[in-house]
Amino acid sequence: MPEAASPAWAALDAIQEVTLARHVRILRARIVQAGGALSFAEFMEGALYDTEIGYYSHETVFGATGDFITAPALSALFGQCLARQCAQILQRAPGQIIEVGAGNGRLAVDILQTLEALETLPTQYVLVERSARRREEAQALITREIPQQADRIVITDTWPDTSASVILANELLDALPADRFCIHQGRVHPLLVCVEGDAFGWREGAVDVRLTETLGTSGWPEGYASEISSRGGHWIGEAAAHLGTGGLLLVIDYGFPAHEFYHPQRHSGTLMCHFRHHVHSDPLVLPGLQDITVHVDFTAIAEAGHAAGLMLAGYTSQAAFLLSLGLAPRAHAEVRAHMEEVNAIKRLTLPHEMGELFKVIAFTRGHAPPLAGFHLLDRSQALTRR
Ligand SMILES: C[S@@+](CC[C@H](N)C(=O)[O-])C[C@H]1O[C@@H](n2cnc3c(N)ncnc32)[C@H](O)[C@@H]1O
């Protein structure tokens, strides 16, 4: 077993050791086949999404027994707030909701339960999810918790051939394969993944003209390394093509505007890996067994929305968005349940938890009312390139 592919802190069981060895074998063969190196996006694609060996094809990913927790897994309060934002749009523009990267369906169920209570159900709710395992989990959750809504729900792995009133994505963009680069003598070089002895290592590629044009050459400290995700902008273009008139595109994820994303002090980029709630920054270990993510450059996302003909309708922190939409503990008879809700609210909103790092960006097509979720705070001005 390549030592660097299995760090001591991971303490793998026998099955995981065998699985990891297989992942490493397959990825090494791909690197050799590609002539000695893969772009980081290609490596991330294989490690996360290969239908056989990819991380997202595994059984447990989200939640306390998995590797990381997302807001829908934390509390139904998150979905209830999002549902209130959806309702504002659906009341004026009744139609479909499309949720992309829907995971195990938890958010869809929470949103639909709330919209049912508000009597503002969408004509259809489409869950688009790449992982077959997650689609199965979503189907089981829907059958168990909202069987009465099954007729209006579609679970698929690709965009439907329709246009929607609302398109949602929670923690999708951070999971899209991204490229890495480094600055060497004022030029932008891609960072490629190669085989290094028994392990994987980094190799600096030849100067990349496209990356150099996009990122510019001035002001970068020597040795600076970071990431760039062209797939995020591409995804916004796809979403725009599926958004109907008066519709809302809502994206929630962790990240910053460009001037913070590429801040000189953030000199090693934003890569984050999750393995059993252990967070670290080495994506070359535990391929296929750990999650790999990259923060979102929200300025690039705003520019992609603009290029796709959408109007920026708001940009704010997750905390301000949820509080604008009435996030508050319900009055519970049971004190314990009440305390759990209060704890979830703290994790969703406190600055050192998910409240500040996670942002919400919204686009509309054509005329739409001021969105309820940006009532307390709208930081759209922060997205301007400086
Ligand atoms: C970090 S998880 C978030 C899941 C869920 N939204 C949540 O908040 O719990 C990202 C999900 O996006 C899915 N995904 C990644 N790329 C996708 C794509 N292009 N289309 C649909 N789903 C995708 C992954 O399989 C994974 O389930």
DSSP result, 287-331? TTTSEEE--EEHHHHHHHHHHTTPEEEEEEEHHHHHHHTT-----
Q: Are 56 and 48 in contact (CB under 8 A)?
A: yes
CA distance 57 to 53: 7
Neighbours of 94 (CB within 10 A): 13
Max mean pLDDT range (165-179, 188-202, 282-296, 339-353): 165-179
Confidence class for position 67, pLDDT limits 50, 70, 90: confident
> Is the residue at 386 inside a domain?
no
Where in the sequence is the domain holding 336, given as residue range(s)?
1-380
How many domains are contained in the chain?
1
Confidence class for position 1, pLDDT limits 50, 70, 90: very low
Is there an atom of ligand 1 within 6 Å of 355 CB?
A: no
Largest separation between any pair of C-alpha atoms in the chain: 65
> Is the residue at 254 inside a domain?
yes
**Weakest mean pLDDT among 11-15, 178-182, 265-269:** 11-15
Q: What angle do CA 96, 97, 99 make, to 5 degrees?
A: 145
SS3 24: helix
> Is the residue at 269 inside a domain?
yes
Ligand 1 geometric centre to CA of 162 (Å): 20
Which CATH number characterizes residue 83's domain? Answer: 3.40.50.12710
Ligand 1 geometric centre to CA of 147 (Å): 23
> Is the residue at 56 inside a domain?
yes
Nearest residue (CA) to ligand 1, atom 5:
103
* Burial of 202 from C-beta contacts in 10 A (0-12 / 13-18 / 19+): middle
Confidence class for position 199, pLDDT limits 50, 70, 90: confident
2 has a pLDDT exceeding 60: no
What is the rounded average pLDDT of the residues 350-376? 92
> Is the residue at 87 inside a domain?
yes
> Is the residue at 41 inside a domain?
yes
Nearest residue (CA) to ligand 1, atom 12:
101
SS3 18: helix
> Is the residue at 385 inside a domain?
no
> Is the residue at 223 inside a domain?
yes
Nearest residue (CA) to ligand 1, atom 3:
171
**Which one of 100, 141, 172 would you pick to mutate in the ligand 1 pocket, going by the greatest count of ligand atoms within 8 A of its CB?**
172
